[in-house]
Structure 1
């Protein structure tokens, strides 16, 4: 799920968006960016830092490296880490193609992310996944246990419940969002494409509810072998607390960190705290 959810309930996200976008301009001088052909599409990516520990950032729904991870690209320790952010196919600057949501779209994003890192010359790396990106990270870690060093996920879920469907339906119609909530995505996609793609995302995520147990990636959780940190904002209106608890129970050796004031965009709103937490975990 992307940052821009639930209209008024995310009224404070505007400032976080501005901080993220401002950060994207301040780190430009130290960032390498470009496009890499991966699995038949040109994926846009940004890379910063010169550390020995490579880290891939995986954005949320309709998200991109710049809209979703400005504070991380700017401030994660560049001596210890080499940080790569990318726009999944059909998102941000990885267009064309237009984004679609086939039944395997998380599997496709996971393969694209892993193959991008291989193409960039990284043999083993860690994953930071937010929202949909966290789901993609879990799929990637389950499918490629030998390639993933560590993983951090937040705002993510391994299945879709009826409660989740109700939350998604509540945000389906972007015309009901405030104009300031629509604006950042409309700047990236244009108003018509954003509305159409968002509605397609709602249908895309909802299709998992028809699977046994509503599984998105339940069957892959036992295959994850890397150390995993699950972070949860206790005020997240889009991800009920039973989701991080489920991940904690089913990913062997995982740990859970709760942020009492955190919402869905906790890594933007509390960037300093989040970045330190992640750095300490990756270095542990």
Structure 2
């Protein structure tokens, strides 16, 4: 009898620990998502520009503690496997992504969750946490900014021509979008993120930061070529009670390059 019960339990655990994938109709589009884990603490992963669960969060979906957390990754509308529609960048695209993310988690049955947001996904996370304080347990963001400076604009324009990227950097995006479509979407993103320079102080969501009340961990790679160090310092100053961890060797994709260290830090923070 004991063996039978244990066998049924392990079958139940295995069934839910293995990654499952699906699509959910949200705000007029079909959003692709992946889900793994059986923990009571739900965690949403929000990818960066043109990103997806496949390109952005492999080590997290694979290795974050699946007994402690239920982990959900999704492809924002127009990205990855959430196409159609083709991606566009209206002035409210971060707000739109934040609403999509909230409504997806509600549709999946989560009334409260934590979030991990990388790069653009971190910006979406900032908006989401500020707009929905009652929903967010904790937040981790890295490679993110609340405004676009002239220095940022120079960085974006310097990388707008993907033909100048290394083949290794292009490959994941070309595999996802195709060699002809990827440059067009990337150029549209550069134009989309650049439009914030027309706002006062280049604000993307500066005015929202004081409304974030969840415990927040900001992570920064000291060698990040995309996000100057004044951005995490600004977030630290304006998000009440937040803390900052700097990885001295980290670049923009530090969660992939230093996945074991990153995952352990995140697990410890979420479990506090």
Name 1:127's counterpart in structure 2.
Answer: 115
Distance of 1:132 and 1:195 partners within structure 2: 18
Distance of 2:64 and 2:170 partners within structure 1: 29
For 1:137-156, list aligned pairs within 5 A: 137-156=125-144
User: 1:179 Cα deviation (Å)?
Assistant: 2.6
Asked whether the 8 Å contact 2:59–2:259 carries over to 1, the reply is: yes
Distance of 1:38 and 1:154 partners within structure 2: 26
Distance of 1:137 and 1:178 partners within structure 2: 29
Q: Secondary structure at the match of 1:83?
A: strand
Q: Secondary structure at the match of 1:207?
A: helix
The aligned length equals 257
TM-score w.r.t. the length of structure 2 is 0.93
Asked whether the 8 Å contact 2:144–2:232 carries over to 1, the reply is: yes
User: 1:29 Cα deviation (Å)?
Assistant: 8.0
Name 1:211's counterpart in structure 2.
Answer: 199
Name 1:108's counterpart in structure 2.
Answer: 96
Asked whether the 8 Å contact 2:17–2:36 carries over to 1, the reply is: no
> Which has the greater radius of gyration?
2
Moved runs in structure 1, 4+ residues, more than 6 A? none
Q: Secondary structure at the match of 1:191?
A: coil
Q: Secondary structure at the match of 1:157?
A: coil
Name 1:118's counterpart in structure 2.
Answer: 106
TM-score w.r.t. the length of structure 1 is 0.89
Distance 1:56 1:230, change over 3 A: same
Cα deviation 1:151-180 (Å, max 9, x = unaligned): 000000000000000000000011122233
Name 2:82's counterpart in structure 1.
Answer: 94
Name 1:228's counterpart in structure 2.
Answer: 216
1:179 aligns with 2:167: yes
Distance of 2:216 and 2:17 partners within structure 1: 32
Cα deviation 1:25-82 (Å, max 9, x = unaligned): xxx9811100000001000000000000000000000000111000000000000000
Distance of 2:171 and 2:254 partners within structure 1: 20
Which of 176, 185, 200 lines up with 1:188 in the alignment? 176
Gaps of 5+ in 1: 1-27
Distance of 2:266 and 2:94 partners within structure 1: 23
Distance of 1:265 and 1:65 partners within structure 2: 14
1:267 aligns with 2:240: no
Cα deviation 1:174-200 (Å, max 9, x = unaligned): 112223321211110011110000000
Q: Which has the higher contact order (CA 8 A, sep 6+)?
A: 1
Q: Secondary structure at the match of 1:282?
A: helix
Q: Secondary structure at the match of 2:217?
A: strand
Distance of 1:87 and 1:136 partners within structure 2: 13
Q: Secondary structure at the match of 1:56?
A: strand
Name 1:75's counterpart in structure 2.
Answer: 63
